A and B are shown apart, each in its own frame.
Chain A
Amino acid sequence: MSVDLATVKRVARLARIAVTEEEAERMTGELNGILGFVEQLSEVDVTGVEPMTSVTPVAMKKRVDVVNDGDKAADIVANAPVAEQNFFLVPKVVE
Chain B
Amino acid sequence: MTELTSLTIAAARDKLKSREIKAVELTESYLKAIDAANGALNAYVTVTPDKALEMAKASDQRLSDGKAGALEGIPLGVKDLFATRDVHTQACSHILDGFKPQYESTVTQNLWNEGAVMLGKLNMDEFAMGSSNESSYYGPAVNPWKAKGSDEKLVPGGSSGGSAAAVAAHLCAGATATDTGGSIRQPAAFTGTVGIKPTYGRCSRWGIVAYASSLDQAGPIARDVRDAAILLKTMASVDAKDTTSVDVAVPDYEAALGQSLKGMKIGIPKEYRIDGMPEEIEALWRQGMQWLKDAGAEVVEISLPHTKYALPAYYIVASAEASSNLARYDGVRYGLRVDGKDIADMYEKTRAAGFGKEVQRRILMGTYVLSAGYYDAYYLRAQKVRTLIKRDFEDAFHAGVDAILAPITPSSAFAIGDKELAADPVKMYLQDVFTITLNMAGLPGISVPAGLDHKGLPLGLQLIGKPFEEETLFKTAHVIEQAAGTFTPAKWW
**A residues at B contact (CB < 8 Å):** 1, 3, 7-8, 11-19, 27, 30-31, 33-34, 37-42, 44, 46, 49-56, 58, 60-63, 72, 75-76, 78-82, 88, 90-93
- Of all chain A residues, the one with the shortest Cβ separation from B217 is A55
Q: Which listed residue, A37, A75, A79, A93, touches B343 by the CB 8 Å rule?
A: A93
- Of all chain B residues, the one with the shortest Cβ separation from A26 is B357
The smallest beta-carbon distance between A41 and chain B, in angstroms, is: 5
For B, the interface residue count at a CB cutoff of 8 angstroms equals 75
The answer to whether B387 touches A51, judged by C-beta atoms less than 8 angstroms apart, is yes
Which residues between 336 and 364 of chain B lie within 8 Å of chain A, taking CB atoms? 336-337, 339-349, 351-352, 355, 360-361, 363-364
Q: A41-B381, A58-B246 are in contact. List 16 more A-B contacts (CB 8 A).
A: A15-B367, A17-B351, A30-B425, A31-B364, A33-B425, A40-B308, A41-B309, A50-B384, A51-B384, A52-B383, A54-B244, A55-B441, A76-B102, A79-B335, A81-B332, A81-B334
Interface-side segment among B59-67, B219-227, B311-319: B311-319
B377 within 8 A of A: yes
The answer to whether A51 touches B367, judged by C-beta atoms less than 8 angstroms apart, is no
Chain A neighbourhood of B467, CB < 8 A: 56
The answer to whether A34 touches B371, judged by C-beta atoms less than 8 angstroms apart, is no
- Of all chain B residues, the one with the shortest Cβ separation from A88 is B332
The smallest beta-carbon distance between B348 and chain A, in angstroms, is: 4
The answer to whether A17 touches B368, judged by C-beta atoms less than 8 angstroms apart, is no
Q: Which listed residue, A33, A39, A79, touches B98 by the CB 8 Å rule?
A: A79
The answer to whether B340 touches A91, judged by C-beta atoms less than 8 angstroms apart, is yes
The answer to whether B371 touches A14, judged by C-beta atoms less than 8 angstroms apart, is yes
Chain B neighbourhood of A62, CB < 8 A: 243
B378 within 8 A of A: yes
The answer to whether B368 touches A37, judged by C-beta atoms less than 8 angstroms apart, is no
The answer to whether A90 touches B364, judged by C-beta atoms less than 8 angstroms apart, is no
The answer to whether A16 touches B387, judged by C-beta atoms less than 8 angstroms apart, is no
If A61-B243, A90-B332 touch, does A17 touch B363 (CB 8 Å cutoff)? yes
The answer to whether A91 touches B388, judged by C-beta atoms less than 8 angstroms apart, is no
If A11-B367, A31-B368 touch, does A52 touch B387 (CB 8 Å cutoff)? yes
The answer to whether A27 touches B344, judged by C-beta atoms less than 8 angstroms apart, is no
- Of all chain A residues, the one with the shortest Cβ separation from B336 is A81
SS class, residues of chain A in contact with chain B: loop
Chain A neighbourhood of B299, CB < 8 A: none
The smallest beta-carbon distance between A83 and chain B, in angstroms, is: 9
The smallest beta-carbon distance between A73 and chain B, in angstroms, is: 11
The answer to whether A16 touches B381, judged by C-beta atoms less than 8 angstroms apart, is no
B442 within 8 A of A: yes
The answer to whether A3 touches B368, judged by C-beta atoms less than 8 angstroms apart, is yes
B306 within 8 A of A: yes
| 28 contacts across the A-B interface (CB closer than 8 A) | A11-B364, A14-B367, A15-B363, A16-B347, A17-B348, A27-B360, A30-B361, A30-B425, A33-B426, A40-B312, A41-B316, A41-B381, A44-B381, A44-B384, A46-B384, A49-B384, A51-B384, A54-B244, A56-B244, A56-B246, A56-B467, A75-B103, A79-B98, A79-B101, A81-B332, A91-B340, A91-B346, A92-B342
- Of all chain A residues, the one with the shortest Cβ separation from B443 is A55
**B residues at A contact (CB < 8 Å):** 98-103, 199-201, 214, 240, 243-246, 306, 308-309, 311-313, 315-316, 323, 327, 330-337, 339-349, 351-352, 355, 360-361, 363-365, 367-368, 371, 374, 377-378, 380-388, 390, 424-426, 429, 441-442, 467
The answer to whether B388 touches A34, judged by C-beta atoms less than 8 angstroms apart, is no
Cα distance, A46 to B306, chains bound together (Å): 12
Cα distance, A26 to B298, chains bound together (Å): 51
Chain B neighbourhood of A82, CB < 8 A: 337
Cα distance, A23 to B245, chains bound together (Å): 40
Chain B neighbourhood of A60, CB < 8 A: 243
If A8-B364, A56-B467 touch, does A41 touch B337 (CB 8 Å cutoff)? no
Chain A neighbourhood of B348, CB < 8 A: 13, 16-18
The answer to whether A81 touches B364, judged by C-beta atoms less than 8 angstroms apart, is no
The smallest beta-carbon distance between A23 and chain B, in angstroms, is: 8
If A37-B426, A55-B390, A90-B332 touch, does A31 touch B383 (CB 8 Å cutoff)? no
Chain B neighbourhood of A16, CB < 8 A: 327, 330, 344, 347-348, 351
Cα distance, A72 to B102, chains bound together (Å): 10
The answer to whether B367 touches A34, judged by C-beta atoms less than 8 angstroms apart, is no
Cα distance, A50 to B335, chains bound together (Å): 40
The answer to whether B312 touches A41, judged by C-beta atoms less than 8 angstroms apart, is yes
Cα distance, A83 to B28, chains bound together (Å): 39
Cα distance, A30 to B387, chains bound together (Å): 28
Top 7 nearest A-B pairs by Cβ distance? A55-B442, A51-B383, A81-B337, A79-B334, A18-B348, A75-B102, A18-B352
